[in-house]
Structure 1
């Protein structure tokens, strides 16, 4: 359970008082801030300017991720420095903003004046409550909502647009690496086995007869094939899957006029970019075509012959460029410090009376895998939060998880209608992906009070494609924010 620490109360006590007999909660102006140490350890503590460098705050391992520690502190507005004590050693997080000082290196952050007015501390006699708990009764219901200035929004979006327009896809190319491509003559079964072996969920498709890349094969294709195998009197049998080629699969879908999860006829033309295209155009291609990656392809000839596949560009890489560029100039993007709940980003659980919002898809662990796959296809989404009866987050099932069924031809031995999501998730944990489809923490979470910059920083991790917004303490799902949501907001599309 996350705990909330309150600091600086005595420093700001002079200008505050509790109303006598008013019955309204009045207290010092504080802002909740979530601290995370994601680099492991046995015992992790936090200290900073907000504790006067005297007290140390114990941090708790995140549920389901023992190597990541976190704590929520309620702090006064302004600039703060802090450090972590990991197993007795003072350390800073190089992945978060930091400065050099006379006494070493410190992490820094700025708390804007968006107050959370805390009620008076509950007495020890209050049954079942502690001021250390973080839930809606203690924090959320008395939150003063900051306003987003239209001018701040326009300035921030313009500066991001200018940055992306003046940097090219060439900057995304790694110094060394490997890009996997699949030939159209490869049997479908072997193709997905290759994805499993390489620890990837998508790969470009090469047509040797045309000497060009013609499309992408992804986990969604495997989902569509599994659904077809699971339909009574299907045209494709498991035996045919052994010899059915990528080319045959693409041709069959084109003839049938099948509609994929993006609402377009299958297959599409290959969406790709050149190394000299600006990052803004690359990001827009990903967003507008609703794809996860865009191949960066270079050809020295004008007609595009003899193409060279250089890289697969993703939004997380472009977001990392943004964060790195603006890391030490937060003031130039005023919206970065706003809490995500105040911004039109993501999909949120509808409140009573709200009927115009896109519903947030969730499933229970005992739901069938067939239900999950149908929801992924019909709703055109990439992941589904798995919740208990109280809608508290238990796990998450995403498209890439389906690749685990390739191992030992498990897909041929299960009934999609009788196989539960819980069983599928357990299978994925035991899969032991040879090249590491992420087997680390599956549920990447954030709080509605987290700033836009915090969310962006976490989404720069290639293994994190979305964050589930949960209520502190209960882990009740409140919304979900994908990396695509961030870019649609920043680029106004």
Structure 2
């Protein structure tokens, strides 16, 4: 009888700890959402920053050179004929151009004369999502900017103001998911209350993952990036062990100067051409807590987390978009069952 009572008491204590963590998690999410609603998109901008805006009449080849010379991977587009913001140029747009010309090799000789305002034609021709034109006013709540990013699945959102005197739009800056999440991690102490592990949060993708090997041709990986609408592909060995990751921005290094022959390289060969500034692959386990993940974002510049097991085998991928979406969810809603991290692997 005494043993039974002791077990019952321990069970109550265990449940109480779970209840405390669950309650703190909900309170933490509500506090973060209140923080986002109390700040504007403008508040996230650093004291000093550089903004590069490209005209849509610019040649695609020249735009790529400009991005690489300035060490950036995206830029707002401006239509000088209408004096309006025309969308956001990213690595995905260059990948779409590659897809278009490999599907239409007879038009490859025209690539030198292709301009940015022709990207719409490329999108329609290969059947991909159109150029993202979502934006937000700089003095709107940061929460609104986050909602728009999640709804559009965009990783960046331009801040667009309006000059009433000149009756024209003004591109002020561009916010990224990383900059927003780092701002939250640095300034909202309630992120420490997010003590539930990934496995309990239904965050990320754990099944039907896109992967490649070091011997996979880069062109095959590009096809995967477009077909599956992803920004990166984990690189595994024959046993499923994580070796590296190949990102859409890596493709830009191979078409430097408008030369497309290097796309025939293997992933392993292409990775060797990376800049020394590449920060490596950030990994975690499904036991890592959201508070530690937010602390990692505060300290390190990362774009995603690759979820692995204790043997370094791939289990899933968690993007910054996944994390941002989670922070915006209804804290009082009943969480959906987490996906099986081993399913379909």
The TM-score range, normalised by the shorter chain, is: 0.7 to 0.9
- Alignment: residue pair count: 316
Matched, 1:158 2:30: yes
Listed as ranges, the matches of 1:189-268 within 5 Å are 189-231=61-103, 233-234=104-105, 236-237=107-108, 239-250=109-120, 252-253=121-122, 256=124, 258-260=126-128, 264=129, 266-268=130-132
More moved, 148-157 vs 314-323: 148-157
RMSD: 2.6
How much has 1:330 moved relative to structure 2?
A: 5.6
Q: Is the 8 A contact 2:198 2:289 kept in 1?
A: yes
Task: Write the mapping of 1:333-348 to structure 2, written as runs, cut at 5 A.
Answer: 333=193, 336-348=194-206
What residue is the counterpart of 1:362 in the other structure?
211
CA distance in 1, matches of 2:227, 2:298: 28
Mapped to 2, the partners of 1:305 and 1:278 lie a distance apart of: 24
Asked if the contact 1:298–1:310 (Cα under 8 Å) also holds between the matched residues in 2, the reply is yes
C-alpha contact (below 8 Å) 1:456/1:486 kept by paired residues = no
**Retained in 2: the 8 A contact 1:195–1:403?**
no
Q: Which has the larger radius of gyration?
A: 1
1:320 is matched with which residue? 182
Structure 1 segments, 4+ long, off by >4 Å, are 145-153
Q: CA distance change for structure 1 residues 150 and 210 in 2, over 3 Å: closer, same or farther?
A: same
**Runs (5+) with no aligned partner, structure 1:** 1-112, 115-144, 349-357, 433-438
Shift of residue 307, structure 1, vs aligned partner: 2.4
The higher relative CO (CA closer than 8 Å, separation ≥ 6) is in 2
Q: CA deviation at 1:236?
A: 2.9
Q: Given the alignment, which residue of 159, 162, 166 partners 1:299?
A: 162
Does 2:180 align with 1:311?
Answer: no
Q: Distance in 2 between matches of 1:299 and 1:164?
A: 23
CA distance in 2, matches of 1:301, 1:419: 51
C-alpha distance in structure 2 between counterparts of 1:146 and 1:393, whole Å: 33
CA drift at 1:299? 1.7
Deviation at 1:491, TM superposition (A): 1.0
SS of the equivalent of 2:209 reads coil
**How far 1:176 sits from its partner (Å)?**
1.5
Normalising by structure 1, report the TM-score.
Answer: 0.59
Q: Structure 2: any 5+ residue segments left out of the alignment?
A: 1-12, 331-345
Following the alignment from structure 1 to structure 2, what is the Cα–Cα distance between the partners of residues 221 and 461?
Answer: 30
Question: After superposition, what is the alpha-carbon deviation per residue over 1:101-151, rounded to whole angstroms, capped at 9, x for unaligned?
Answer: xxxxxxxxxxxx99xxxxxxxxxxxxxxxxxxxxxxxxxxxxxx9679664
The question of 1:288 aligning with 2:134 is answered no
How many Å separate the matches in 2 of 1:455 and 1:427?
A: 29
Are residues 1:275 and 2:147 paired?
no
TM-score, normalization: structure 2?
0.83
